Amino acid sequence: MVSQASAASTRRNMAGIIQAPRRMPVASAVEQYMRVPKGAGNSVKWDPSVAPYVLEPMNCLASREYDAVVFVGPARTGKTIGLIDGWVVYNIICDPSDMLIVQMTEEKAREHSKKRLSRTFRMSPDVAERLSPRRNDNNVHDMTFLAGNYLKIGWPSINIMSSSDYKCVALTDYDRFPEDIDGEGDAFTLASKRTTTFMSSGMTLVESSPGRDIRNTKWRRTSPHEAPPTTGILSLYNRGDRRRWYWPCPHCGEYFQPSMESMTGYRDEADPVKASEAAHVECPHCHQAIAAHQKRELNQCGIWLREGQSIDRDGVITGEARRSRIASFWMEGPAAAYQTWAQLVYKLLTAEMEFEATGSEETLKAVINTDWGLPYLPRAASEQRRSDELMARIEDYGKRRVPPKVRFLMAAVDVQGGKNRRFVVQVVGYGENGERWTIDRYNIKQSMRCDENGESLQVHPGAFPEDWDLLLTDVLQKTYALADGSGKRMPVLAMAVDSGGEDGVTDNAYKFWRRCRQDGVHKRVYLVKGDSTRRQKSVTKTYPNNTERSDRRADARGDVPVYLLQTDIFKDQLSNAMARDVPGAGFIHFPNWLGEWFFDELTYEERGADGKWRKPGKGNNEAMDLFCYIHAIAFLRGYERISWDKPPAWAESQEINPNIFNEDTAREAVVVTTNKKKSKPQDKSPAAPSSLSGSSWLNGGGSGGGGWL
Per residue in 585-631, pLDDT (tens digit) is 999 999 999 998 999 899 888 887 777 888 877 888 999 999 999 99
Per residue in 134-144, pLDDT (tens digit) is 877 778 898 99
Phi-psi region of 692 (alpha: psi -120 to 50; beta: other; left: phi over 0): beta
Find out whether 237 and 226 touch, Cβ atoms under 8 Å. Answer: no
Element (H, E) at 172: strand 168-172
pLDDT > 90? residue 670: no
Confidence (pLDDT) at 220: 77
> Which residue from 475, 464, 477, 519 is spatially nearest to 497, judged by alpha carbons?
475
If one compares 447 and 17, the residue with the highest pLDDT of the two is 447
Indicate the range of 104-108, 280-284, 580-584, 688-692 predicted with least confidence.
688-692
Round to whole Å and give the CA distance between 57 and 237. 13
pLDDT band at 356 (very low <50, low <70, confident <90, very high): confident
Round to whole Å and give the CA distance between 559 and 511. 11
Confidence (pLDDT) at 395: 94
> Which residue from 620, 616, 640, 628 is spatially nearest to 566, judged by alpha carbons?
628
Per residue in 160-169, pLDDT (tens digit) is 888 789 999 9
Distances (CA, A) of 575 to 262, 390, 488: 33, 11, 33
Round to whole Å and give the CA distance between 154 and 166. 13
Confidence (pLDDT) at 699: 38
Distance of CA 124 to the CA centre of its chain: 46
| pTM of the complete model | 0.68
User: With helix as H, strand as E and coil as C, how does 209-276 read?
Assistant: CCCCCECCCCCCCCCCCCCCCECCHHHHHHHCCCEEEEEECCCCCCEECCCCCCEECCCCCCCHHHHH
Confidence (pLDDT) at 693: 34
Mean pLDDT, residues 528-542 taken together: 88
607 φ/ψ angles, rounded to the nearest 5 degrees: -90, 120
Distances (CA, A) of 185 to 156, 170, 189, 192, 584: 11, 17, 7, 12, 55
pLDDT > 70? residue 552: no
pLDDT band at 125 (very low <50, low <70, confident <90, very high): very high
Rounded mean pLDDT of the chain?
87
pLDDT > 50? residue 696: no
Mean pLDDT, residues 578-588 taken together: 90
> Which residue from 407, 448, 491 is spatially nearest to 668, judged by alpha carbons?
491
> Which residue from 345, 343, 339 is spatially nearest to 260, judged by alpha carbons?
345
Find out whether 338 and 89 touch, Cβ atoms under 8 Å. Answer: no
pLDDT > 70? residue 203: yes
> Which residue from 25, 70, 54 is spatially nearest to 327, judged by alpha carbons?
70
Q: At what angle do helices 567-579 and 622-636 cross, to 10 degrees?
A: 100
Round to whole Å and give the CA distance between 479 and 401. 10
Phi-psi region of 349 (alpha: psi -120 to 50; beta: other; left: phi over 0): alpha
Confidence (pLDDT) at 408: 96
Round to whole Å and give the CA distance between 138 and 3. 12
pLDDT band at 14 (very low <50, low <70, confident <90, very high): low
DSSP, res 179: S
Mean pLDDT, residues 84-96 taken together: 94
DSSP letter for each residue of 474-510: IIIT-EEEBTTSSSEEEEEEEEEEE---STTHHHHHH
If one compares 606 and 154, the residue with the highest pLDDT of the two is 154
pLDDT > 90? residue 107: yes
Round to whole Å and give the CA distance between 73 and 75. 7
Mean pLDDT, residues 296-302 taken together: 95
Confidence (pLDDT) at 363: 92
Per residue in 273-298, pLDDT (tens digit) is 999 999 999 999 999 999 999 999 99
Round to whole Å and give the CA distance between 299 and 375. 23
Burial 386-415 (b: 16+ CB within 10 A, else e): ebeebbebeeebbeebbbebbbbbbbbbbb
pLDDT > 70? residue 196: yes
pLDDT band at 381 (very low <50, low <70, confident <90, very high): low
Find out whether 220 and 200 touch, Cβ atoms under 8 Å. Answer: no
pLDDT band at 556 (very low <50, low <70, confident <90, very high): low
> Which residue from 522, 523, 541 is spatially nearest to 531, judged by alpha carbons?
541
Burial 337-366 (b: 16+ CB within 10 A, else e): bebebbbbbbbbbbbeebbeeeeebebbbb
Round to whole Å and give the CA distance between 207 and 232. 10
pLDDT > 60? residue 4: no
Mean pLDDT, residues 451-466 taken together: 92
pLDDT > 70? residue 345: yes
> Which residue from 340, 363, 330, 352 is spatially nearest to 263, judged by alpha carbons?
340
Round to whole Å and give the CA distance between 211 and 204. 20
E strands of 308-389, at which residues?
310-311, 317-318, 326-330
pLDDT > 50? residue 316: yes
Find out whether 80 and 172 touch, Cβ atoms under 8 Å. Answer: yes
The amino acid occupying position 599 is F
Q: Residues for the chain: how many in total?
A: 709
Q: What is the share, in percent, of the chain residues with pLDDT greater than 70?
A: 88
pLDDT band at 427 (very low <50, low <70, confident <90, very high): very high
The amino acid occupying position 108 is K
Strand pairing partners for 318?
310
Confidence (pLDDT) at 684: 40
